[in-house]
Amino acid sequence: MIDKQRHLSRRELLRQTTAAGVAAATTFVPMRPAIGQQAKVKIGLLLPYTGTYAALGHNITDAMKLGFAEAGNKMGGREFELIQLDSEADPAKAAANTNKLIVGAKVDFLSGPVHSGVAMAMAKIAREEGTITIISNAGANAVTRGMCGPNIFRTSFSSWQVCFPMGTEMARRGLKRAVSMTWNYAGGKEMTGAFREGFEKAGGEVIKEILVPFPNVEFQANLTEIAALKPDAVFAFFAGAGAIKFVKDYGDAGLKARIPLYGSGFLTDGTLRAQGEAAEGVFTTLHYADSLQLPANIRFRAAFKQATGRDADVYAVQGYDTARLLIGAMDKVKGDTGATKALIGAMEDTRFDSPRGSWHFSKSHNPVQDVYLREVKNGDNAVVGIAQKAVSDPGTGCGLA
Ligand code: BEZ
């Protein structure tokens, strides 16, 4: 890091010297050109475009593009460019990838990722560098708790926020013994951990927590174990291609009729077409549902379908809200990316009329939002009710006033 800064400042010095020489030899160049004449605003996107989370990354990106297009592809009167980098959902590459965008491409804003492990590395660097960063999916609790920062915002959810309500709900339904199952990484473990917290607080017991390596999709041995344990229910977190495989395998193993399947909504979001009959009757909690009869949702789903030929899902909604957040804040400061304090203030004040319903930021910059209870019915995530209203992550350890 120190080496890089030294190398960079040498490079920067070289650039400035060259620029000064050119200016002196030609004509007067103002120190800070009028905002309208500045270069394009750069927005770095660190998202998965390959691998098990590829569909999630594409939907976030395409919905951002839709949001930008609806605003005339300008923010604060300025043109912009998206610099897309494939995160490969690989935490081991996250620091290098983040540096490529912040230090290498010198982005004005950073957004992404999908994977919580990537988010931890990305948020740490972004906080140190002061780059305004909008987490458009990853639920890692710490990002808006102990690792929070004035320049770090999240337009998606915290892992705790979407899973704790399902624990309460399952206990309310009289379920007593549950097994949880997920991938063995921060995002998965936090989701099953939050479910456990809610379930056990309400009188249930998690008799076994099954962890499989990310992004493995060989579930047979675990499903055999679940059958032998005979719990009242299973709670699972998987997403993307892994969720498709898990739900189908669960059905094929003949478990669905005997042991009801529950999960966070990622288990059935953007996946229903591929899961088919196997997903019918699965209950999940999430801050979004396809079938929400809100004008903003109906309009957004039609526009996304027209733009991409695909159905919108929770990831698309998060991308869309991210674009609208950026546009709103940049419009407020008339495109002055140097006005960091004003930009942050504008973001904090944003009130969203989103396809998911209305929401705003908590003090730790995480959404305060309703969490819906959904059931898959006729190939749709139908809203059964609101599992918990205006859920706010506790933001433990975040010192933002
Ligand atoms: C996560 O790693 O936080 C995550 C990944 C996919 C969907 C939802 C959350």
The alpha helices in 333-375, defined as continuous H runs, are: 340-349
CATH classification for the domain delimited by 160-286, as one of 3.40.50.300, 3.90.1150.10, 3.40.50.2300, 3.40.50.970 = 3.40.50.2300
The answer to whether 4-157+293-369 and 160-286 have equal CATH topology is yes
Model confidence pLDDT, tens digit, residues 205-261: 999 999 999 999 999 999 999 999 999 999 999 999 999 999 999 999 999 999 999
Q: Candidates 56, 59, 114: which one to mutate for ligand 1, based on the most atoms within 8 Å of Cβ?
A: 114
Ligand 1: does its nearest atom lie under 6 Å from the Cβ of 139? yes
Domain boundaries, the chain: 4-157+293-369, 160-286
Distance of alpha carbon 281 from alpha carbon 287, whole angstroms: 19
158 CA from centroid of ligand 1 (Å): 10
Model confidence pLDDT, tens digit, residues 276-291: 999 999 999 999 999 9
pTM: 0.91
Question: Among the listed ranges 29-38, 40-49, 75-84, which one has the minimum average pLDDT value?
Answer: 29-38
Minimum-distance ligand 1 atom for the alpha carbon of 118? 2
Ligand 1: does its nearest atom lie under 6 Å from the Cβ of 187? yes
Ligand 1: does its nearest atom lie under 6 Å from the Cβ of 114? yes
Pick the residue whose CA is nearest to atom 5 on ligand 1. 115
Does 19 have pLDDT greater than 90? no
Model confidence pLDDT, tens digit, residues 185-208: 999 999 999 999 999 999 999 999
Q: Note the pLDDT of residue 5.
A: 30
Q: Note the pLDDT of residue 8.
A: 32
CATH class of 4-157+293-369: alpha beta
27 CA from centroid of ligand 1 (Å): 53
CA atoms within 13 A on the CB side of 16: 7
Confidence class for position 174, pLDDT limits 50, 70, 90: very high
Minimum-distance ligand 1 atom for the alpha carbon of 115? 2
Ligand 1: does its nearest atom lie under 6 Å from the Cβ of 214? no
Q: Note the pLDDT of residue 90.
A: 98
For 294, list phi and psi in degrees, rounded to 5: -110, 140
C-alpha Rg value of the chain to the nearest Å: 22
* β-pairing verdict for 357-361 and 261-264: unpaired
pLDDT over 70, % of the chain: 90
Minimum-distance ligand 1 atom for the alpha carbon of 190? 3
Q: Note the pLDDT of residue 74.
A: 97
Does 144 have pLDDT greater than 80? yes
253 CA from centroid of ligand 1 (Å): 25
